């Protein structure tokens, strides 16, 4: 894995491009088309946005050329890369045609989950490539194992997130709404130094709403005897944290929910113990799932055990059932078993972890025992 740091400028860009080209050789891919998103940010250290003005970075073994709007060109002028620009009057077609006169490819690898019809149509109509192929695996390998500098960014993102949650925990009280708590949490995340581009809007789910794993906060008020799931994160230098904790509003919690909480806590612990270098991702999922099944809640664990984490909130590796993917040093991912019982409530405990040569390291530090507020 090559280091990624936005302050590394030209050196970092060239180093990351070298790594990408090595992967292209291994996969026998002639060229790639990269659009705004985490892969482009990783390679250049610059942020672009998908908009009506297309940006495409074409990389082959002997060239690296941007086609982009003139107004975006200052972001790359210090990187030593070739570029072709267009303005709003002429539009992008002529710029793509100009690039096609320089480079044509028999096959062009694309980010199938990122590229849009807009870019594909410009590539096709200009004759840049005879065919396109899915290059998802190349980009996954490019960013999956993190460097020390990347991991340090994620540690900082965790620190910001945990500090922010602790600063608003006293506001988790009867009568506060889910929306109010989420808003206060966002304010603290920004005050404590998170990048303004948060990983996602915080999930705050109380009572029966907690049975929905991806619940959006509402005006529902917190009530005595409920569990509250909080799923949130921070961003540092573009790298994300993603944490979940579940809290109890008072002592009068349904016995079934308390039993489910014990199951999730043990499943989380079991998953963290199982995850090691050389272990299959599917085996980690099986270990956590078995705990929940043994407690009698198997049907209520409705998602995978975890997902990779970095410049994207969900990226490879995925800790999912029957995955043969082998975990490797430097990989960062979540362990987040959950139980969601309709019309009753839910529990999730999510930790951000990293695989080091000495074993699994938890980047998160908040207690996993049930906290009563």
41 and 238 Cβ atoms separated by less than 8 Å? yes
Q: What is the CATH number of domain 148-372?
A: 3.90.230.10
Distance between CA atoms of residues 260 and 237, nearest Å:
37
What pLDDT shows up at residue 12?
62
Question: What is the per-residue DSSP string for 50-102?
Answer: -SSS--EEEEESS-EEEEEEGGGGGGTTTTT-EEEEE-TTT-SHHHHHHHHHH
- Whether residue 230 contacts residue 245, with contact meaning beta carbons closer than 8 Å, is answered with yes
Q: How far apart are CA 340 and CA 297, in angstroms?
A: 9
Distance of alpha carbon 214 from the chain centroid = 15
Q: How far, in whole angstroms, is CA 219 from its chain's centroid?
A: 28
Rounded-to-integer distance, Cα 189 and Cα 157, Å:
10
Do 347 and 246 contact (CB within 8 A), yes or no? yes
What was the pLDDT predicted at 80? 85
Look at residue 78 in the predicted model and tell me its pLDDT. 85
Q: Which tokens is 354 given?
A: 């990293």
At the second CATH level, the architecture of 6-143 is 3-Layer(aba) Sandwich (3.40)
The residue extents of the domains of the chain are 6-143, 148-372
| Joined tokens for residue 155 | 């540690």
User: 10-residue block means of pLDDT along the chain (373 residues)?
Assistant: 44 81 97 97 92 98 96 91 96 98 96 97 97 96 94 98 98 98 98 97 98 98 98 97 98 97 98 98 98 98 98 97 97 98 98 96 98 97
Cα–Cα distances (Å) from 317 to 78, 137, 282, in that order, read 33, 11, 11
By three-state DSSP, how is residue 266 classified? helix
Phi (first) and psi of residue 55, to 5 degrees = -125, 125
What number of residues does the chain have? 373
Could you tell me the pTM of the whole model? 0.94
- Give me the residue label for tokens 């280091």: 3
């Amino acid at each position: 894995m090559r280091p990624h740091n936005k302050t590394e400028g030209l050196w970092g860009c060239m180093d990351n491009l070298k790594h990408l080209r090595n992967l292209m050789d291994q996969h026998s891919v002639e060229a790639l088309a990269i659009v705004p998103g985490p892969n482009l940010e990783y390679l250049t250290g610059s942020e672009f946005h998908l908009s009506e003005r297309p940006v495409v970075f074409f990389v082959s073994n002997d060239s690296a050329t941007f086609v982009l709007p003139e107004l975006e060109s200052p972001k790359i002028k210090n990187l030593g890369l070739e570029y072709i620009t267009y303005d709003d009057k002429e539009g992008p077609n002529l710029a793509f045609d100009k690039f096609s006169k320089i480079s044509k490819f028999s096959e062009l690898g694309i980010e199938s989950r990122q590229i849009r019809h807009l870019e594909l149509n410009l590539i096709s109509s200009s004759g840049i490539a005879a065919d396109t192929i899915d290059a998802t695996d190349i980009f996954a390998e490019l960013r999956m194992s993190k460097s020390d500098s990347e991991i340090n960014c994620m540690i900082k993102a965790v620190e910001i997130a945990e500090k922010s949650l602790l600063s608003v925990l006293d506001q988790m009280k009867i009568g506060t709404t889910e929306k109010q708590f989420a808003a206060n949490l966002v304010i603290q995340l920004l005050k404590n130094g998170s990048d303004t581009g948060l990983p996602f809007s915080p999930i705050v789910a109380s009572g029966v709403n907690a049975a929905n794993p991806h619940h959006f906060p509402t005006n529902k008020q917190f009530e005595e005897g409920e569990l509250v799931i909080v799923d949130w994160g921070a961003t540092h230098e573009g790298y994300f944290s993603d944490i979940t904790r579940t809290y109890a509003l008072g002592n009068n919690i349904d016995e079934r929910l308390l039993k489910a909480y014990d199951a999730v806590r043990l499943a989380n612990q079991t998953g963290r113990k199982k995850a090691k270098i050389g272990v299959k991702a599917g085996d980690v999922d099986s270990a956590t799932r078995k705990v929940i099944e043994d407690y009698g809640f198997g049907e209520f664990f409705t998602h995978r055990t975890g997902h990779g984490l970095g410049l994207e909130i969900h990226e490879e590796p995925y800790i999912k059932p029957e995955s043969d993917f082998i975990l490797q040093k430097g990989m960062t991912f979540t362990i987040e078993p959950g139980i969601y019982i309709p019309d009753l409530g839910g529990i999730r405990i999510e930790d951000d972890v990293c695989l080091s040569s000495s074993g699994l390291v938890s980047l998160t530090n908040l207690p996993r025992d049930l906290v009563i507020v």
